[in-house]
Amino acid sequence: MPKSTLHRMRRNPYYADYVRRNGVRHEGNHAPLVSQELFDEVQNLLDARNNTAGEKRRVHQHYLKGSVLCAPRGARLCITKAVNRARQ
């Protein structure tokens, strides 16, 4: 199962007896698979682990990455590791 599918499942209120129709959340007619308390706890954990710095997890970490911004454009610092691959 892909991680994205698992993430969508954890965010889906259907498992706590709610359905969405036209963007509005309604109480469902089915038995909930998880309690509302457990669903809310999972949502809080997912929100706490959300990437608030706007940086992706990478192999090469840098302590300033994601926290240094370009003043005129607001772009984030980008780390590049260049390798010379000149052919002989």
Predicted confidence (pLDDT) per residue in 19-72, tens digit: 888 888 888 888 888 888 998 998 888 887 765 555 566 666 667 766 777 777
Is 83 inside any structural domain?
no
The pLDDT value given to residue 16: 85
- How far apart CA 78 and CA 55 sit, in angstroms, is 10
Domain that holds residue 33: 3-48
Is 63 inside any structural domain?
no
Is 60 inside any structural domain?
no
Counted domains in the chain? 1
- How far apart CA 6 and CA 2 sit, in angstroms, is 7
Largest distance between two CA atoms of the chain: 71
Is 20 inside any structural domain?
yes
pTM: 0.50
Is 29 inside any structural domain?
yes
CA 40 → CA 22, 43, 58, 64, distances in Å? Answer: 22, 5, 30, 34
